Amino acid sequence: MIMHLDMNSYFATVEQQCNPYLRGKPICIAGKGKNERTVCAAASIEAKKYGVKSGTSVWQAKALCPSIQIVPADYQKYQFISRQVFTLLEEYTPKIEIFSIDEAFLDLNHIKTYTEAAVLADEIKLRIRTEIGDYLKCSVGLAENKLLAKLASEKQKPDGLTIIKKDEVVTILEETPIEEICGIGRQLQFRLNQLGIRKVAELGRYPLVNLIKLFGTNTGRLLKQMGQGIDFSYVLPYFEFPAEKSFGHSYTLPSDISDPKEAQKVLLNLSEKVGRRLRKKGFFGHTVHIYLRFHDFTSFSGQMTTHSIQDGFEIYQIGLKMIEEVNSPKPIRLIGISISNLSQEKDITQALLTYDQKRERLLEATDKINDHFGEFTIFRAALTKIKNRIENIPDGRNKRIM
């Protein structure tokens, strides 16, 4: 038996938990302030009644709901609450898969009946409200696999508990639109609708040979299984995650910039965050990738392989070399930088030169201070004007040890 727990309107509800003034009001969580170009990262339960949802632009949100309040995102706060929720869940089973910052799957195969599982779900919901935050709500789904448990948790929001038993699967699949199944995005929904497939059960009845012809062997078989409510994947705890293959950050600018110096500051900020994550996870990287998107949605990408590095400033210097090769005068809309071709620290020869040894000790000391007092307590002077504008960027994969 699998449980899927979904924190409802998570970012918005956390803000309402922390600020009682926002409770009961339509709010939108946005990354770059009230008046700049951005989209809603999350909408409160009250805002959703007006049609505002994740991905809605701020100006559209204001048009749909003139009284909506735009609240800047605070990802460190959301991660802090998530850690508390996941720690609570670990009291019930060690087999927990962190599906996102506000979702988790629990393997409950040690529980024999749905009645017992429902009692446990109610207990978890109550403990979240009483021990973490009385305004926090979650929806829970119980089913025989992850696909159906995720579907069940979507059925009653907010604060619902839905069970899909084995003998109910056929009926539910006949009634459920395909876009409600996890993994069916807009483009795939459109293609399936063109085939006359609108309900999940219709996908399950569609000839496998045709699905393979249209979508390829792997995707075709997966779609067929999804249409039949079949999911062979198991709950994957964080300690079984495959190793990272790259670390990176990108940022869509609040407004297009033409000043190269401003672009360089953004690049430095992103590079420092990449270096910080490398060191936290104990990796060095060798290949730096740069990506720019311009105001007309054309783009530039490049990569450069170098010696093993984990210093954000070195990553920045390599990225800067590639940016300087771009002779386009077009304003920049998005900047991204990442590093791949990773090696673990234990496999890298220690620095021999005195200069390099001093720099490593400096980075280690800086990391310790920032770990204790918060990100960017110590930072390069060049970031003074830019850091507060873009420091709330979520980090990589959502693992238990965020």
Catalytic center residues: 103
Helix (H) or strand (E) holding 141: strand 138-143
Phi, psi of 326 (to 5 degrees): -85, 115
Residue 37 is encoded by which pair of tokens?
Answer: 């170009």
Distance of CA 52 to the CA centre of its chain: 20
Q: What is the distance between the terminal CA atoms of the chain, rounded to a whole angstrom? A: 27
Single out the residue of 14, 276, 287 nearest to residue 132, CA to CA.
14
Distance of CA 94 to the CA centre of its chain: 22
Q: How crowded is residue 240: how many other Cβ atoms within 10 Å of its Cβ?
A: 10
Residue 309 is encoded by which pair of tokens?
Answer: 């590095």
Q: How many alpha carbons fall within 13 Å on the CB side of residue 130?
A: 6
Phi, psi of 35 (to 5 degrees): -115, 5
Place of tokens 């873009």: 390
Contact 335, 266 (CB under 8 A): yes
Q: Rounded to whole angstroms, what are the CA distances from 267 to 138, 199, 299, 340, 373?
A: 37, 45, 16, 17, 24
